[in-house]
Amino acid sequence: MKPLSEQGELPETPDLQGAFPRLSEDQIDTLAAHGERRTTRPDEVLFSEGERCDEFFVILSGKVATVQGFGQDARIIRVHGAGRFVGELGLLQGQTAFSSAVVVEPGEVLAVPVEWLRAVVEREPTLGDVIVRACLIRRSLLIGLGAGFRIVGSCYSPDTKRLREFAARNRLPHRWIDPERDKQAETLLRRFGIRPEDTPVVIWKGEQLLRNPSNAELARMIGLPAAAAAPGSCDLLVVGAGPAGLAAAVYAASEGLTTIVVDAVATGGQAGTSPRIENYLGFPSGISGAELAERAVIQAGKFGARTTVAVTATTLSCRDSHYLLTLDDGTQLTAPTVVIATGARYRKLAVRRLDLFEGTCVYYAATQVEAAQCRLDPVAVVGGGNSAGQAAVFLAETVPKVYLLSRSELTKSMSRYLIDNVERHPRIEVLEHHEVRELLGDTTLDGIVVEHNATGARRNLDARAMFVFIGAEPGTAWLTGTLELDRHGFVRTGFDVDVSANPDAWAKAERRPLTLESSQPGVFAVGDVRSGSIKRVASAVGEGAMAIRLVHEHLEQSGNRTPINR
């Protein structure tokens, strides 16, 4: 391919969404205090796709292009001039790069070590917010472009569905190629000598290949931190990285507690799949669940908390006033205190042949990935709560028609502001007192049959995809026999705990359980997993923060840690 520097004048990409801000001279001077000025050469690669980058580059003169597939089938994504910087969210989170940065017009750059950049983000809120916001938007743009790695696998494969869900939930830029429908897949598979029946595979940089990888293997390829790399012991273990778990991590780490966070799938929990949360304090124009989670991960990380995904907690046991957490990869972590924030998973509809369409036409989250697949088709959203309302409004911005199905009136479970948004939207049709009775189609969803639960009248809806938000079940199967659960499987806390079931532990503690404390002293439950909790993002965050005050109280009483100034 012709060198980029020889392709003629490349105009700078306009900044239409705030993703490519131009830093002021004062902001550049702030970064320059920790950086190094370097002269650039034509076609010099500042960082490469698939490799971890340890430096943050600000362009002082000349131009730099962001390129996908550099060295193979290169595609210029953006071009940046003086005052702009290159890089995106992975730079702040320690991930490998999803694109390359190549000099197309020689000049000069300022190279700032990433560890210093993180310090600047913490100490200079105005500059830090500009950088973080731009990185978040750039990640969204990369996802929309289908940059990053390729998942090649049939839409009927459960493992393909698993990999796609993991990538989407972790907001990893990627493209799905279905051998059943895409001719490009055959060329790719032939190149690597892979038969279609041996899929799914993950391909990156046109050369790196993973055959049906586990979520953990894919996470390691991208550079997500491994649990095995974390220290074996700490002050606090947080199990679950939804809003409650992330809030606990931020407050714990900021108050001097060594903190490790683990999650089976992705940061953000179910809130991370919400396209827009409009009633969260401090965000009058709303914020997506993914952006809220990513900001929280960066915030927890700057205070020293370690966050790991793609690892599942399997057992929790007590050993000499400490707790031993065992993960599915064999890693064992110990701490005197634990916060359980494993949340809950959405329930499935009791309708025949549901599993045939899951992952391809039936979804339990409404993110940019699902919306892109449904862009030209009418869809149905099932549920009457805020999650269903948020999904309906989000999808209605791109699809021609959204049917919102609820078993009862929306006013019973949906916030008033969302009801107003739903009712005002011209592409949303609300069907209250309706339930799904049948799914139509053989390999893809052709429609659904719904029934009015009072009259019994049935109606066929032309829906080519269905999004289900009908309540949740707690992720506590691994805690059965360890903590006291209510009849629905949620963790009992505070006054609801029966101390007579664990008399020795409470006699030793010389007190009753604290407000968010479970049946084991020093183990707290927050957010959706807790019995009696309010299923709202704000309350989950509040419980996560409150739990750390109680963690300190337990540590001080048990002698595991001296008091700190709060």
- The per-residue pLDDT for 228 is 63
| CATH class for the domain made up of 354-470 | alpha beta
Could you confirm whether domain 227-345+473-558 is CATH 3.50.50.60?
yes
d(CA 186, CA 191): 9
> What's the CATH number of domain 149-222, 3.40.30.10, 1.10.1060.10, 3.40.50.2000, 3.30.230.10?
3.40.30.10
SS3 251: helix
**Which residues make up the CATH 3.50.50.60 domain(s) of the chain?**
227-345+473-558, 354-470
Radius of gyration of the chain (CA): 25
Residue 94 amino acid letter: G
Per-residue DSSP letters for 208-266? EEEES--HHHHHHHHTPPPGGGS-SB-SEEEE--SHHHHHHHHHHHHTT--EEEEESS-
Q: Determine the Cα–Cα distance for residues 402 and 391; give it in Å rounded to an integer.
A: 10
How far, in Å, CA of 124 to CA of 453, rounded? 57
Q: What tokens were used for 131?
A: 């950088």
The single-letter DSSP state of residue 226 is: P
Say which CATH architecture domain 4-145 belongs to.
Sandwich (2.60)
∠ CA 426-472-296, nearest 5°, is 80
Q: Are 548 and 513 in contact (CB under 8 A)?
A: no
pLDDT per residue rounded down to tens, the chain (566 residues): 567 767 778 899 999 888 999 999 999 999 999 899 999 999 999 999 988 889 999 999 999 999 987 655 678 999 999 999 999 988 888 888 999 999 999 999 999 999 899 888 878 889 999 999 999 999 989 988 888 999 999 877 889 989 988 998 899 999 998 887 787 788 878 888 888 788 899 998 877 889 999 999 999 888 887 766 667 799 999 999 999 999 999 999 999 999 999 999 999 887 887 878 888 888 888 888 888 999 999 899 889 999 999 999 999 999 888 999 999 999 999 999 999 999 988 788 999 999 888 877 998 888 777 888 888 899 999 999 998 999 999 999 999 999 999 999 999 989 999 999 999 999 999 999 999 999 999 888 999 999 999 999 999 999 999 999 997 789 899 999 999 999 989 999 999 999 999 999 999 999 999 999 999 999 999 999 999 998 788 999 999 999 999 999 999 988 776 444 44
Q: Tokens 């030209």 identify what position?
A: 376
- Maximal C-alpha separation, the chain: 79
Place of tokens 């989000």: 394
Q: How many CA atoms lie within 13 A of 459 on its CB side?
A: 14
Instruction: Tally Cβ neighbours within 10 Å of residue 499.
Output: 16
Q: Which part of the chain has CATH 2.60.120.10? A: 4-145
Instruction: Tally helices (H) and strands (E) across the chain.
Output: 15, 28
